[in-house]
């Protein structure tokens, strides 16, 4: 039996972070394996990336007038058929209900393109650029009931230069994201991540 951490990745869009995890798994750089990819968006490139990598993938679209709770119930039903140990949100553009978050307490992580707690929510890179920060970055965190407020697992930084545009900044943050997300998953897979209140400690060896 494989001793790899079984994960599901939820992604709504282009799925470049998903790809970084697919690649890290394929190169055996991380002790994890993607059991499935789920998207809420028809035609999401993330689904195609999963398909091309031979990973099970599912489109779970919100029905018109379906409540968040009912949608999340369907999501849970699917996830619970998959025998999963960790859920990774990688550009999943839906807010999840408190029920969902409680059910997967400590088993749900997200990647966010800012140095939290600054610039939560949408367009974090633009928020940081417009604010005029000198240092920007990205964060992988456990998900709690707030918006991008959960305990921080890893962060990485980049310097903002005077030549940067919003686009160049976002592109350099994204490169860091592609390193940070697989690294965080691997730390969890290796049982090196401990949560105490809202503080995360990492075992170094």
> Should residue 141 be labelled a site residue for ligand GRF when binding is judged by CB under 6 A?
no
Nearer Cβ to ligand GRF (85/175): 175
Q: In the chain, what is the straight-line distance between the N-terminal and C-terminal CA atoms, in Å?
A: 24
Asked if 112 is an active-site residue, the reply is yes
Calpha distance 152→142 (Å, rounded): 7
* 8-state DSSP, 120: -
Q: Which residues contact 80 (CB under 8 A, 6 or more apart)?
A: none
Among 112, 141, 172, 183, binds ligand GRF (CB under 6 A): 112
The residue from 22, 39, 91, 100 that contacts ligand GRF (CB under 6 A) is 91
Contact call for residue 180 and ligand GRF (CB under 6 A): no
Residue 66: how many CB atoms within 10 A of its CB? 13
Decide: 21 and 88 in contact? Cβ < 8 Å: yes
Could you give phi then psi for residue 2, rounded to 5 degrees?
A: -70, 140
Instruction: Give 174 or 195: the residue with its C-beta nearer to ligand GRF.
Output: 174
**11 lies in the binding site for ligand GRF (CB under 6 A):** yes
Q: Which is nearer to ligand GRF, 14 or 126 (CB)?
A: 14
Smallest distance from ligand GRF to CB 141, Å: 11
Task: Decide: is 14 part of the binding site for ligand GRF (CB under 6 A).
Answer: yes
Smallest distance, ligand GRF to C-beta of residue 88, A: 10
d(CA 67, CA 10): 19
Q: Which of 9, 17, 84, 140 binds ligand GRF (CB under 6 A)?
A: 17
Residue 39 interacts with ligand GRF (CB under 6 A): yes or no: no
Residue 91 has which token pair?
Answer: 């550009």
Rg (CA), the chain: 17
Q: How many Å separate Cα 150 from the centre of its chain?
A: 12
Sites of contact with ligand GRF (CB under 6 A): 11, 13-18, 90-91, 111-113, 174, 177
- Catalytic residue annotation: 112
């Amino acid at each position: 039996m494989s001793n790899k951490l079984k994960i599901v990745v939820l992604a709504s869009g282009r799925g470049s972070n998903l790809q970084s995890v697919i690649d890290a798994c394929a190169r055996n750089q991380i002790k994890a394996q993607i059991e499935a990819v789920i998207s809420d968006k028809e035609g999401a490139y993330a689904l195609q990336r999963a398909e091309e990598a031979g990973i099970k993938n599912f489109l779970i679209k919100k029905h018109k007038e379906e409540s968040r709770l009912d949608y999340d119930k369907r999501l849970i039903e699917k996830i619970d058929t998959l025998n999963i140990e960790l859920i990774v949100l990688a550009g999943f553009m839906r807010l999840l209900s408190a029920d969902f978050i409680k059910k997967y307490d400590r088993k749900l992580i997200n990647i966010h393109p800012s140095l939290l707690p600054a610039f939560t929510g949408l367009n974090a890179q633009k928020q940081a650029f417009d604010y005029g920060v000198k240092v920007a970055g990205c964060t992988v965190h456990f998900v709690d009931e707030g918006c991008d407020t959960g305990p921080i697992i890893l962060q990485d930084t980049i310097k903002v230069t005077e030549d940067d545009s919003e686009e160049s900044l976002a592109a350099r943050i994204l490169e860091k994201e592609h390193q940070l997300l697989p690294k965080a998953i691997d730390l969890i897979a290796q049982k090196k991540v401990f949560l105490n209140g809202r503080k995360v400690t990492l075992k170094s060896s």
